[in-house]
Amino acid sequence: MLSGVGVEHIIFRAVVSGLTAFVISLVTGKVFIQLQKRHAIGQSIREDGPESHQVKSGTPTVGGIFFIIAILIATLLFVKSISILAISLTAMLGFGGIGLWDDLLKLKRSNSDGLKAKYKISLQVIISYLLLFELDFFKLLETSIFIPWSETLYFQLGSWYYIFAILYIVFMVNACNLSDGLDGLATGLGIISFAAMILFGFIAITGALHPSVGAFMFDDRVELIVFLSGMIGGLLGFLWYNARPAQVFMGDTGSMAIGGGFAMIAIITQNEILMLIIGAVFFMEALSVIIQVSSYKMRKKRVFLMTPIHHHFEKMGWKEIKVVHRFWIFSLICVLIGLLVALRI
């Protein structure tokens, strides 16, 4: 358990990390957008998407680069654990790098066809395995899953955990990627989710949560609070330009980096199920695509008007900004539900 001085030190570094990432993201974002406009570099919009989105064609993209840079600098400056540094950098740079490759191919081809799915998934599996290797190397890997509402509390997977963890990470990375389709949507969902984990971390330090949920207060994992604060700061700086009407899109570069960070936090703190509750909107976005594709292949019928599900609501007549705000609200409700589960009330 952290002492009072230790808690104050973590809080100070977390706040400064967030502020630093915010300022860097804000400043580099402005330069990044101006450079793309000057060289006429912009997003290609999928032709089968909502008609209202066609006006967004040509909007600067790959904005994930500047908030990843901001987060990395804040992490390097204020996170004091070598293990958390290594794991964080692998998650952000690894998955962000895959997304960047995908985005660059789209820009080169001037359409929405990027990296082939089989190559994208293969690379994601490799980065996921590397993350698990690092966790094991730093003795931060547990092979059991915490069940918040269970009497037994843990489900031991043993060596099968590696397969589960790789599937979990790949799923969450792609779920976050699918959520990036409306101005500010994925950015806001990421901020809410990471803020929730910081809240859980500080509550855990007080001893109010179950020891598994409270993994932040043990060994180097307490440094995750500083990393999470940096992520929030970087995303807030990005949201400054990404709020409707968006001046820049994060691209797969940013959405995959967010997904990698989200999954990494879940794995390292043994809160895979709890994070699915907190990130229920991400889960819902991915599930809608799975249901749509499965239904069409088996029955030749579509369940939704369009997927991911945020487009379904647009097709129903909801304004883009209403979809975004309501998804944010639902995400906040999921955080509250997650808190109740974590407290075992």
What phi, psi does 207 have (nearest 5°)? Answer: 85, 10
pLDDT at 107 over 80: yes
pLDDT at 28 (0 to 100): 95
What is the Cα 75 distance to its own chain's centre? Answer: 16
The amino acid sitting at 117 is: A
Name every residue whose Cβ is closer than 8 Å to that of residue 12 and which is 6 or more positions away in sequence: none
Mean pLDDT, rounded, of the chain: 87
Tokens of 62: 């790959």
The angle formed by the CA atoms of residues 247, 249 and 251, to the nearest 5 degrees, is: 165
Instruction: Note whether 97 and 106 are within 8 A (CB).
Output: no
Q: Which helix (H) or strand (E) holds 187?
A: helix 185-205
Dump pLDDT digits (tens) for 130-167.
Answer: 999 999 999 888 888 877 766 567 788 889 999 999 99
Residue type, 3: S
Of 225, 220, 246, which Cα lies nearest the Cα of 86?
A: 220
pLDDT at 145: 86
Least confident of 67-71, 267-271, 320-324: 267-271
pLDDT over 90, % of the chain: 64
Tens of pLDDT, residue by residue over 238-248, are: 999 999 888 99
Classify strands 144-146 and 154-156 as parallel, antiparallel or unpaired: antiparallel
DSSP state at residue 50: -
Q: What is the pLDDT of residues 254-310, one digit of tens each?
A: 999 999 999 999 999 888 998 999 999 999 999 999 999 999 999 989 999 999 999
**Nearest-angstrom CA–CA distance, 51 and 200:** 41
Strands (E) across the chain are located at 144-146, 154-156
At residue 220, the pLDDT reads 78
